Amino acid sequence: MEFEPVIGLEVHAQLKTQTKIFCGCSTAFGAPPNTHVCPVCLGMPGVLPVLNRQVLAFSLRMALATGCRINQDSRFARKNYFYPDLPKGYQISQYELPVAEQGEIYIETGAGEPRRIGITRIHMEEDAGKLVHDPDRPVSRVDLNRTGVPLIEIVSEPDLRSPEEAGAYLRKLRTIVRYLDICDGNLEEGSFRCDANISIRPAGTTPFGTRAELKNLNSFRNVEKAIHYEIGRQKELLLDGGAVVQETRLWDPERGCTTSMRGKEEAHDYRYFPDPDLLPVVVDDDWLAAIRRELPELPDSRRQRFVEAFGLTDYDAARLTADRDLADYFEACLAHAPQAKPAANWILGELMAWLNAEGRSIDQSPVTPEHLGQLLALIDGGTISGKIAKTVFEEMTRTGQAPKAIVEAKGLVQVSDAGELEAVVTKVLAAAPDEVAAFRQGKKKLMGFFVGQVMRETRGKANPKLVNEILQRMLEA
């Protein structure tokens, strides 16, 4: 029997505010345990939460960027459950009236056609704390620094049909939140994380199967691997005559499998009710319009512009716009580079290869976009050859110097004097009479040999285009 997976993702994005959602405590990562806390986020009796306006603004940015319907009247609810890292015994979230609903994004599939993935809702909520498990003793300690850190939860429709589509959707969401500058997208620090709901059904049928929720997914690779495993586990159960149990399961990356954590809760288990300490959230038309005007150019439209304005391929444009910092670097480079295509090739080729080898991101590059653009201008103007440019680039990565200064200091200016090169070519041909005779008898591949000899004589400084022209003329004389 053939089965079809049905997958939905619940993505939590930590918002880049300086303070928490309902109090003035810092949201900075990595502080000593229980130092970024106050009576409000500790849930002390008698304290009152106050909504951070920036949290709402960031939530609206994401809602607008994903085409959601904005609920200009929304409200917070209490989600009741007990866990040691939840000091109040409930989480302030949104339920019946979230800030936004019914959005969409498009992902690229293997078929090459963009595929629409629906977004059910986006809502604001506070994060819980963190349990730190002692490796040497059966003891867990509670760190409440993260309690009250602002999140938006982005809930997809069950529109995903493969682990690869789930990975593409997650990467697209991460790109969008980084373009909007509302979340740093750091999976390792937990500021961008997701839970996956997976079920399977016989291919061609419409009812959904029983779903399992997967947690502890802290990388794109783990998301795809965990979903692959869970689909296989559920298939095996059904083919053996068993039944899938609705539950929450943990992904164990070391063992490469999922394990049961607890029964899956439904909404009624949390006993949601409106939070009596927080007023309804009302967004007026003028503020919403102002937020809409301030939206940056989003990745899909930027990619299309790169194709139309700069003549890039869809593939190159997609790679450049997948990261906002990389796209910004490319455009800053173009202010100094004469042509877009060579700039894209150098950034996606030499520069990214060097950064990946060094474990750096584009914003940590010692080669500034201005300097890379100047290097490309030197190539385009014939001052240096492409081969010499690679030597100059290596020096730029070591020193951060401007390319012109390196070229002048090391005497790397390309030889483009026709008379000087003719003398070198004459010398090379005189030293290889057998090869010259063979070339004239039809072995045209020997042209590469002659060019190489000229380059060796000039220590790689000869203008290759001019060398080829001179060789062609002299060999056919």
Tokens of 158: 């069950």
Percentages of the chain per state (helix, strand, coil), in multiples of 5: 40, 20, 40
pLDDT tens across 156-181, in order?
A: 999 999 999 999 999 999 999 999 99
- Interhelix angle 299-310/324-334, rounded to 10 degrees, is 30
Last residue of a domain, one of 248, 263, 289: 289
Residues 452 and 315 in one domain: no
Q: 401-427 burial string, b = 16+ CB within 10 Å, else e? A: ebbbebbeeeebebbbeeeebeebbee
CATH at 454: 1.10.10.410
Residues 451 and 373 in one domain: no
- Residue 351, pLDDT score: 97
- Residue 39, pLDDT score: 96
- Residue 266, pLDDT score: 67
Judging by DSSP bridges, how do beta strands 114-126 and 100-108 pair with one another?
antiparallel
Residues 310 and 232 in one domain: no
Could you give the CA distance from residue 104 to residue 115 in angstroms, rounded to a whole number? Answer: 10
Number of domains into which the chain is organized:
3
Query: Which residue, among 1, 180, 12, 204, has the nearest Cα to 93 in the 3D structure?
Result: 12
- Residue 88, pLDDT score: 93
Q: What's the distance, CA 138 to chain centroid?
A: 38
Residues 348 and 451 in one domain: no
- Residue 169, pLDDT score: 96
What Cα–Cα distance (Å) separates residue 48 from each residue in 274, 277, 322?
15, 6, 41
pLDDT tens across 101-117, in order?
A: 999 999 988 766 789 99
Domain that holds residue 66: 3-289
Residues 301 and 267 in one domain: no
Residues 100 and 191 in one domain: yes
- Residue 111, pLDDT score: 66
DSSP letters for 408-427:
HHHT---B--HHHHHHHHHH
Provide the whole-model pTM.
0.84
Q: 138-173 burial string, b = 16+ CB within 10 Å, else e? A: eeeebbbbbbbbbbbbbbbbbbbebbebbbbbbbbb
Q: Are 277 and 81 in contact (CB under 8 A)?
A: no
Could you give the CA distance from residue 359 to residue 435 in angstroms, rounded to a whole number? Answer: 47
Residues 156 and 48 in one domain: yes
Last residue of a domain, one of 372, 393, 410: 410
Q: Which residues of the chain have pLDDT under 70?
A: 111-112, 264-268, 414-417, 477
Residues 134 and 227 in one domain: yes
- Beta-bridged to residue 122, according to DSSP, are 100, 154
Residues making up the chain, counted from first to last: 477
- Residue 417, pLDDT score: 66
Give 201-252 as a 3 state SS string: EECCCCCCCCCEEEEEECCHHHHHHHHHHHHHHHHHHHHCCCCCCCEEEEEE
